Amino acid sequence: MMKVLLLKDAKEDDCGQDPYVRELGLYGLEATLIPVLSFEFLSLPSFSEKLSHPEGYGGLIFTSPRAVEAVELCLEKDNKTEVWKNSLKEKWNAKSVYVVGNATASRVNKVGLDTEGENCGNAEKLAEYICSREAPALPLLFPCGTLKGETLPKMLKDKGHPSQHYIFQSLRPCIQPQAYSGVIW
């Protein structure tokens, strides 16, 4: 059996397996996944504080499932799951919750928020969608990583839609020598 090395993080699909590993296996290939980047969440207590005060924002913007993961971590770590279910979720749902893509929308829906914009496909189209709506008086809370593009914040700012991006994660090379131990070079 031919072996294939995939330099990516494993993602499970509905079948509980990485879709690339499964697909390559259908063709008689044995895939090994080696993550090359790791994610580090930053300043979650500060982000949690922002999530606890929806009255200070006109809505939320999520451009990746990882941003939703940060919300989930904030709720778990600060024991805010009950407060979220009983009041915060409803307060955020009274506002617009914008997302890019169906995977992000699905994850946002799992935390109980209704979404819009998921069919936009990318940040630029989402910015156009948001700008086509009336600008909120308060800024939109935009949790994002250190590698976020400037397209969405710049377009929103240029059209008079205030946003407050909040850096919640950084990327760093994933150095795991044990991950390479079974690889024949």
Tens digit of pLDDT at every position of the chain (185 positions): 789 988 887 777 667 788 899 999 999 999 988 877 777 777 788 888 899 999 999 999 998 888 898 899 888 886 888 888 989 999 999 999 999 989 899 999 999 999 999 999 888 999 999 999 887 788 999 888 766 667 788 888 888 877 776 665 555 555 555 544 555 54
The torsion angles phi and psi of 64, rounded to 5 degrees, stand at: -160, 150
What's the pLDDT score for residue 155?
Answer: 86
The closest alpha carbon to 104, from 122, 88, 92, 124, belongs to 122
Give the helix, strand, coil percentages of the chain, each rounded to 5: 40, 20, 35
What's the one-letter identity of residue 114? Answer: D
Q: What is the CA radius of gyration of the chain?
A: 19
How much is the pTM? 0.74
Question: Is the dihedral angle over the CA atoms 21, 27, 30, 34 positive or is it negative?
Answer: negative
Listed in sequence order, the residues at least 6 apart from 178 whose beta carbon sits closer than 8 Å to its beta carbon are none
What's the pLDDT score for residue 18?
Answer: 86
Tell me how long the chain is: 185
Euclidean distance between CA atoms 104 and 119, whole angstroms: 11
What's the pLDDT score for residue 169?
Answer: 54
Between the CA of residue 56 and those of 22, 72, 141, what are the distances in Å?
45, 20, 9
Longest dimension (CA), the chain: 61
What's the one-letter identity of residue 62? Answer: F
- Looking from the CA of 47 toward its CB, the CA atoms found within 13 Å total 26
First-residue to last-residue Cα distance in the chain: 16
112 and 60 Cβ atoms separated by less than 8 Å: no
The closest alpha carbon to 161, from 136, 178, 126, 125, belongs to 136
